Amino acid sequence: MKAYREFHRRSIEKREEFWAEQAQLVDWHRPFGKVLDYSRPPFARWFVGGQTNLCHNALDRHLATRGGQKALIYISTETGEEKTYTFRELHAEVNRCAGMIRSLGAGVGDRVLIYMPMIPEAVFAMLACARIGAIHSVVFGGFASHSLATRIDDARPKLMITADGGMRAGRAIPYQSMFNEAIRLAKSPPEKVVIFNRGLDPNLKLAAGRDIDYAALRAGHLEDRVPVAWLESNEPSYILYTSGTTGRPKGAQRDTGGYAVALAASLKHIYCGEPGETMFTTSDIGWVVGHSYIVYGPLIRGMTTILYEGLPIRPDAGIWWKIVYDNKVSVMFSSPTAARVLKKQDPAFLRKYDVSSLKHLFLAGEPLDEPTHRWFAEQLGRPVIDHYWQTESGWPILSSVPGVERTPVKFGSPSFPVFGYDLRLLREADAAEAAPNEKAVVAILPPLPPGCMTTVWGDDERFVSTYFKSFQGKLAYSTFDWGIRDEEGYHFILGRTDDVINVAGHRLGTREIEEAVQAHPNIAEVAVVGVADHLKGQMPLAFAVVKDAARIATLEQRAVEEKSVLETVDRMLGAIARPSRVHFVTLLPKTRSGKLLRRSIQALAEGRDPGDLTTIEDPAALEQIRSAVKPL
Ligand code: AMP
């Protein structure tokens, strides 16, 4: 591990020298003066004074050398569409879209909300915002009205770009009712909504004076050439909302120069992607993985990127491997849930296509269990690398770094701290460093490296109080994950320290789900916990106290009420946040001071020991949980 260790050591001990070198991987319109300004801890400002642009680095700078190379390959197994854009063609579309956005009055620093399915226009819109210096806030298409409204109110976008709908498993999911309701709920709604009509919603109606048809607008901007807005490296590029312990999602704000450099460096050293090769990331543009490794990362590196709309098992479980084979994919990135889904299918599909072009398959987003890791690597016959990171970091925190050194994979472990991260395992009680194999909190000593979130959008104070106040007497960033390090330096992630749950790699706050359940007229009180699920990692499970018990007197009535509660969650947050069950109880386990005993509820729901219960107000509440989850 000599080469890896030396690389990492230099990234921490000779931080500025190291990152100045990595910064050469991207274009600068004006060179930076100072590599790092850390005069106001924990805020880090990277490449101070330098001017650059994400869209320029993703597109313009490749035109001379690879204008005719494929930049974006779009494959939808939902609609059957396939489209390819060369760097030149993508550049032209992005210029058109930039012209459209500009014509609607958005420019440097204005927010543009993108609520889109996995279609090329979503990528055009993101890159177009980056081109003109507008700050995009992409909201996952699976989120519903309430989630969208809270994000609108926090980001206050000038403009929303959306579509008539998404598709999942062959079924169209119209967006109109969701964005109309969100706009109705929002206190500061966008003035204009651009809608890309895919022909999925026959009932689509444009709101006069507000809605604009994407294709009609585009027709007026076909020849637009929009100059790149050169931004100081620390100007924000985007906001991406993520769930925490409160009901209010946080807008992770990303800079421009640091992000470009971190992505370029990660593509080179971690993913081993070379310019001209093809990357296939199976995530969604609504998540951080989609931002970094469907859109910006591969394009900045001069790679072709694949945008895939569809499931891993339709038309059959060989579809992803067919895509790898057809496009000679060299780098693939997916999730443990997808691996577990594929593990349940006939393994012959994994061997049906020649996938020898794949250098590595990377997995992230949730814990990867050892049996799945082992099985997948064996069946695929290619190296499968678990790596760990978060919306906040924007790029990997723990990973093996095969571009620097090929270190052996330990199944179930995301290996070692990535360059730039001064990662420590700190004890919760006294912030001291943990011994090998001792469970502790995964922390990072600031300054955080380039590419990480720079603040919470509009709320510096919340950034500091949320992330840097976990350890008494020590300024350290908390990931809110438990972890251990073994004697050989391999790390293992053991789950969250807070009330955030992870469903199929998607992070959800239990508070947010509780608020949605409580919006149902008959719910007085509710506790939502994450419970282990063999496929999705975790699933939310709700225990609710009703206002009017007469409405759930019979079994049939209970079933009807449960369904109606679940529909409320679907409508407000989206089906992704829907609890697997709502159990009705008459009282919830709380401490005498009224705090919900979530960890005990979760333990009971998973059939474990509920732990220390000396503070409980009424032990009968636990009995109710126990009998509610008891298998029949
Ligand atoms: P998100 O911000 O939605 O990407 O979720 C980040 C969280 O997902 C982390 O804080 C971890 O709890 C979890 N996570 C991500 N990658 C891994 C991994 N490789 N192993 C274990 N947990 C992971």
Helix pair 336-343, 370-380: axis angle to 10 deg: 70
Residue 49, sorted as left (phi over 0), alpha (psi -120 to 50) or beta, turns out to be left
Residue whose CA is closest, atom 15 of ligand 1?
365
| Average pLDDT of the segment spanning 21-31 | 98
Dig out the tokens for 594 from the structure.
């009224």
Task: With beta carbons less than 8 A apart as the criterion, state whether 29 and 51 touch.
Answer: yes
Q: What is the pLDDT of residues 232-255, one digit of tens each?
A: 999 999 999 998 877 788 999 999
How many whole angstroms from 99 Cα to the centroid of ligand 1?
A: 37
Helix pair 176-185, 145-155: axis angle to 10 deg: 50
Ligand 1 neighbourhood includes 481 CB (under 6 angstroms) = yes
Ligand 1 neighbourhood includes 265 CB (under 6 angstroms) = no
Categorize the per-residue pLDDT at 631 as very low, low, confident or very high, splitting at 50, 70 and 90: confident
Confidence at residue 178, expressed as pLDDT on a 0 to 100 scale:
96
- DSSP-H helix ranges across 220-367: 257-269, 288-290, 297-300, 319-327, 336-343, 348-351
Q: How far apart are CA 95 and CA 345, in angstroms?
A: 43
Report the SS3 class of residue 528.
strand
Residue 239, sorted as left (phi over 0), alpha (psi -120 to 50) or beta, turns out to be beta
Q: Is the pLDDT of residue 117 over 80?
A: yes
Antiparallel, parallel or unpaired: β 135-138 and 111-115: parallel
Residues of the chain with pLDDT > 70, as a percent, come to 100
Dig out the tokens for 54 from the structure.
């994400």
Q: Burial level of 543, CB count in 10 A (0-12/13-18/19+)?
A: buried
Task: With beta carbons less than 8 A apart as the criterion, state whether 358 and 332 touch.
Answer: yes
Q: Is the pLDDT of residue 407 over 70?
A: yes
Dig out the tokens for 557 from the structure.
């009535």
| Average pLDDT of the segment spanning 272-293 | 98
How many whole angstroms from 368 Cα to the centroid of ligand 1?
A: 10
Q: How far apart are CA 492 and CA 595, in angstroms?
A: 30
Q: What is the pLDDT of residues 558-584, one digit of tens each?
A: 999 999 999 999 999 999 999 999 999
Question: Which range has the worst mean pLDDT, 108-117, 269-278, 598-607?
Answer: 598-607
Q: What is the pLDDT of residues 577-599, one digit of tens each?
A: 999 999 999 999 999 888 899 98
Looking at CATH, the fold of the domain delimited by 500-629 is given as GMP Synthetase; Chain A, domain 3 (3.30.300)
Query: What are the DSSP E strand ranges found in 175-322?
Result: 192-196, 211-213, 231-232, 238-242, 250-254, 278-281, 304-309
Q: What does DSSP assign to residue 50?
A: -
Q: Is the pLDDT of residue 160 over 70?
A: yes
Confidence at residue 45, expressed as pLDDT on a 0 to 100 scale:
98
Q: How far apart are CA 254 and CA 394, in angstroms?
A: 8
Residue that the structure tokens 């992770």 belong to: 252
- Mean pLDDT for all residues in the chain: 96
Ligand 1 neighbourhood includes 364 CB (under 6 angstroms) = yes
Confidence at residue 630, expressed as pLDDT on a 0 to 100 scale:
85
Ligand 1 neighbourhood includes 496 CB (under 6 angstroms) = yes
Confidence at residue 611, expressed as pLDDT on a 0 to 100 scale:
83
Q: Is the pLDDT of residue 608 over 80?
A: yes
Q: How far apart are CA 155 and CA 289, in angstroms?
A: 21
Q: Where are the domains of the chain?
A: 500-629
Q: What is the dihedral of CA 473, 476, 480, 484, to 10 degrees?
A: -90
Q: How many CA atoms lie within 13 A of 201 on its CB side?
A: 18
Confidence at residue 632, expressed as pLDDT on a 0 to 100 scale:
65
Q: What does DSSP assign to residue 275?
A: T
Q: Is the pLDDT of residue 615 over 90?
A: no
Report the alpha-carbon angle 360-363-367, nearest 5. Answer: 145
Instruction: Report the nearest atom of ligand 1 relative to the CA of 391.
Output: 2
Q: What is the pLDDT of residues 58-101, one digit of tens each?
A: 999 999 999 999 999 999 999 999 999 999 999 999 999 999 99
Cis peptide before 402 (omega within 30 of 0): no
Ligand 1 neighbourhood includes 284 CB (under 6 angstroms) = no
Q: How far apart are CA 581 and CA 569, in angstroms?
A: 12
CA dihedral sign, ordered 89, 90, 95, 101: positive
Instruction: Report the nearest atom of ligand 1 relative to the CA of 496.
Output: 12
**How far is the CA of 23 from the CAs of 19, 87, 289, in angstroms?**
6, 23, 22
Q: How far apart are the first and last CA of the chain?
A: 52
Ligand 1 neighbourhood includes 413 CB (under 6 angstroms) = no
What residue type is assigned to position 153 of the chain? D
**Residue 542 CB contacts under 8 Å (≥ 6 apart), including other chains:** 513, 514, 517, 526, 527, 528, 565, 579, 581, 582, 583
Instruction: Report the nearest atom of ligand 1 relative to the CA of 398.
Output: 19
Question: Which of 397, 481, 576 to mutate for ligand 1's pocket (most ligand atoms within 8 Å of CB)?
Answer: 481
Question: Which of 384, 386, 387, 388 to mutate for ligand 1's pocket (most ligand atoms within 8 Å of CB)?
Answer: 388
Ligand 1 neighbourhood includes 402 CB (under 6 angstroms) = no
Task: With beta carbons less than 8 A apart as the criterion, state whether 66 and 87 touch.
Answer: yes
| Average pLDDT of the segment spanning 128-133 | 98
Dig out the tokens for 209 from the structure.
């004076």
Question: Which of 498, 502, 538 to mutate for ligand 1's pocket (most ligand atoms within 8 Å of CB)?
Answer: 502
Dig out the tokens for 162 from the structure.
């959306």
Q: Please give the full DSSP string across 100-134, using - where no structure is assigned.
A: HHHHTT--TT-EEEEE--SSHHHHHHHHHHHHHT-
Q: How far apart are CA 282 and CA 301, in angstroms?
A: 18
Q: What is the pLDDT of residues 286-338, one digit of tens each?
A: 999 999 999 999 999 999 999 999 999 999 999 999 999 999 999 999 999 99
Q: Is the pLDDT of residue 462 over 90?
A: yes
Ligand 1 neighbourhood includes 373 CB (under 6 angstroms) = no
Confidence at residue 108, expressed as pLDDT on a 0 to 100 scale:
98
